[in-house]
């Protein structure tokens, strides 16, 4: 199944890197269909204005609703989920990435300035699925970088994108690992600058290696991200 992804932005150039690497290959092979659209094509004044001063006062500018309304009219289909990156959204995590990888059509709305007039999301919520999502508790200059991040997280989960699907199962936040952080990994040489690869990894004893890795995952998660530990642990 193909994932159709439409991005609306005033900075289409931000999305050039999507032609590289795994996401680029997914687009080339037809697993992903990407459309990047300049919001200004849906303005009608000489200055192609997309923002205006906020009602109620305050610093900064707000994105006008009219161009966004026309963008939605042009891009939204019967099975669209609108994705709106915003620092006030729900946290974007691996579970969200899996859910969005299951969709057939995502339209991503990249806000700039102080955000998009709130009526745009209110209007969309009456007509389609809407996900307002935040990458984390910090503020970016706009939604573009957030959409790049989410696109990479989502596209790599599509069947056929990552060469060996086993690697999806072994990584941090994978559901198969109860969302724990990934254990440390090593490759040759066995000794490097006085540092040895843990002995257990040469043992060939798969059950013990699996046990060691799980302990490492649990300890790392306890130290760095205790919020991720299942209550039972």
Is 136 annotated as belonging to a binding site?
yes
Greatest Cα pair distance, the chain, in angstroms, is 71
Name which position in 31, 61, 128, 140 contacts ligand ADE (CB under 6 A). 140
Q: Output 113 or 212, the one with its CB closest to ligand ADE.
A: 113
Report the distance separating Cα 152 and Cα 214, nearest Å: 27
Using CB under 6 A as the binding rule, whether residue 86 contacts ligand ADE is answered as yes
Name which position in 31, 43, 65, 134 contacts ligand ADE (CB under 6 A). 134
Name which position in 25, 87, 113, 229 contacts ligand ADE (CB under 6 A). 87
Could you tell me which stretch among 28-36, 99-107, 133-141, 219-227 binds ligand ADE (CB under 6 A)?
133-141
Is 158 annotated as belonging to a binding site?
no
Report the distance separating Cα 202 and Cα 209, nearest Å: 9
Q: Output 71 or 161, the one with its CB closest to ligand ADE.
A: 71
Is 138 annotated as belonging to a binding site?
yes
Among 174, 205, 200, residue whose Cα is nearest residue 186: 200
Report the distance separating Cα 51 and Cα 70, nearest Å: 15
Report the distance separating Cα 182 and Cα 172, nearest Å: 4
Could you tell me which stretch among 30-38, 44-52, 136-144, 156-164 binds ligand ADE (CB under 6 A)?
136-144
Q: Output 54 or 87, the one with its CB closest to ligand ADE.
A: 87
CA distances from 110 to 54, 116, 205, 210 (A): 18, 9, 50, 42
Using CB under 6 A as the binding rule, whether residue 135 contacts ligand ADE is answered as yes
Helix (H/G/I), strand (E/B), else coil: 107? strand
Measured in degrees and rounded to the nearest 5, phi and psi for residue 222 equal -60, -40
Among 92, 83, 82, 182, residue whose Cα is nearest residue 137: 92
> Cβ of residue 19: shortest distance to ligand ADE, in angstroms?
22
Name which position in 60, 77, 91, 136 contacts ligand ADE (CB under 6 A). 136
Q: Output 112 or 177, the one with its CB closest to ligand ADE.
A: 112
Tally Cβ neighbours within 10 Å of residue 126. Answer: 7
Q: Output 136 or 184, the one with its CB closest to ligand ADE.
A: 136
Residues engaged in binding ligand ADE (CB under 6 A): 85-87, 134-136, 138-140, 143, 146
């Amino acid at each position: 199944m193909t994932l159709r992804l439409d991005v609306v932005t005033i900075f289409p150039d931000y999305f050039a890197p999507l032609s590289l690497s795994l996401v680029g290959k997914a687009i080339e092979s037809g697993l992903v269909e990407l459309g990047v659209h300049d919001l200004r094509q849906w303005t009608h004044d000489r200055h192609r204005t997309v923002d205006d001063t906020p009602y109620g006062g305050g610093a900064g500018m707000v994105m006008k609703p009219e161009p966004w309304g026309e963008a939605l009219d042009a891009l939204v289909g019967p099975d669209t989920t609108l994705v709106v990156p915003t620092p006030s959204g729900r946290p974007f995590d691996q579970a969200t990435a899996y859910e969005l990888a299951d969709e057939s059509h995502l339209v991503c709305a990249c806000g700039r300035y102080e955000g998009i007039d709130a009526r745009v999301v209110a209007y969309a919520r009456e007509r389609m699925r809407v996900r307002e999502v935040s990458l984390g508790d910090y503020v970016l200059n706009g939604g573009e970088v957030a959409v790049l991040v989410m696109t990479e997280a989502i596209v790599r989960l599509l069947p056929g994108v990552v060469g060996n699907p086993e690697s999806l199962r072994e990584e941090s936040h994978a559901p198969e690992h109860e969302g724990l952080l990934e254990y440390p990994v090593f490759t040759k040489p066995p000794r490097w600058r006085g540092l040895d690869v843990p002995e257990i990894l040469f043992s060939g004893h798969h059950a013990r290696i699996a046990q060691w890795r799980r302990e490492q995952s649990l300890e790392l998660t306890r130290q760095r991200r205790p919020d991720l530990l299942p209550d039972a642990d």
